[in-house]
Amino acid sequence: MNPLERELHYPFGDELPEPGSTMEVAPGVRWVRMVLPFALNHINLWLVRDEIDGRQGWSVVDCCISREEARTQWEQVFETQLQGLPILRVIVTHMHPDHIGLADWMCTRWNAPLWISATDYNVARVLVSMGDNAAGGEAAADFFVAHGLSDPDSIAKIRARTSYYANMVPSVPRNYVRMMDGDEFPIGGRMWRCISGYGHAPEHISLYCEELNVLLGGDMMLPRISSNVSVHAGETESNPLRLFLQSLRRFNELPATVLGLPAHGKPFTGVHTRVRQLEDHHRDHLAALMEACSQRALTAAEALPVLFKRELDLHQMTFAMGETVAHLHYLWFAGKLRRNLGEDGVYRFGLPGQA
């Protein structure tokens, strides 16, 4: 446990649900945990006891990436954990593969509707329909080169990495039910409220139930790691860190005692503390970048080691590049750094007035 985690409270300690099983974390709310084949090695998914149109069953929140192991684990859960009842609704917090990957399979398997924000639904649909050109590929390589990536081997690998999204998200349902900020709807007779969040995904929806004092925080409110906040090749001029920090503050409106159910890590209390920790984390990153860029104008690739000191594989490096650009953009949009496009076609960030 890192020092910051000691400021949070984990009411279930180190207890985790067994693979293929579930653990009750609040009345009618059950925790499913699945392995992911990445550095981020697991995801939390949730079952909420539900009743829709007089039918008893469950709503599921998030689905895992599409792969055989996950489908097998879900089948075990269906067989042993649902009390013989069906899945009635599939709620997806956002369009990242570990959340939406199996949504189409799940919706088809149970003839259940998908609930998601319009933005994330449509982005997922576009990426799936683009197939081999969805993520990675030419656009990503060009974006990283414009931000100073120069290692030919890495550039070639990114250029060749074409079916990244489609591999984990083979399809999405043909229709959906839209969730929007402030919407309230019942799950199993208790009201839940949608809280939109930006900067991590296009339009992430967290769900809060006042009666249970539970927050299904998805990737917006994680206890141990900080959510990835990146500028992407598809939207190169964005300022996602400003959006993320604005969105974080919304969680301070919830009771300090709320039980946070995150997509990664363990259920925790101390959401307000976590908001402050994440604000501090990004403020420290911004200060370190200001310091580094005040010596001389830097590319994102040059600035990256200021924020990420450990060894990164290619996959982690692309995330770290996106995140470094996000921090540089925050400072640039705030007028604290100036962006210059060099004759080499590479962006550098330096102090305004700096040569």
Binding residues for Zn ion, rule: CB under 5 A, are 96, 219
Q: How far apart are CA 321 and CA 318, in angstroms?
A: 5
Other beta carbons within 10 angstroms of residue 48's beta carbon come to 23
CA distances from 298 to 92, 103, 229, 338, 347 (A): 38, 42, 20, 11, 8
Tokens of 230: 């990146």
Residue 92: which of 106, 79, 80, 78 has the closest Cα? 106
Tell me whether residue 89 or residue 94 sits nearer to Zn ion (CB atom).
94
Tokens 């206890």 correspond to 223
Report the Cα–Cα distance between both ends of the chain, in Å, rounded.
44
Tokens of 315: 């996959």
Minimum distance, C-beta of residue 93 to Zn ion, in the bound complex (Å): 8
Minimum distance, C-beta of residue 94 to Zn ion, in the bound complex (Å): 6
Secondary structure class of 131 (helix, strand, coil): helix
Minimum distance, C-beta of residue 97 to Zn ion, in the bound complex (Å): 9
Tell me whether residue 96 or residue 285 sits nearer to Zn ion (CB atom).
96
Tell me whether residue 226 or residue 354 sits nearer to Zn ion (CB atom).
226
Minimum distance, C-beta of residue 110 to Zn ion, in the bound complex (Å): 24
Residue 109: which of 128, 132, 82 has the closest Cα? 82
Minimum distance, C-beta of residue 230 to Zn ion, in the bound complex (Å): 10
Tokens of 148: 């100073």
Minimum distance, C-beta of residue 299 to Zn ion, in the bound complex (Å): 26
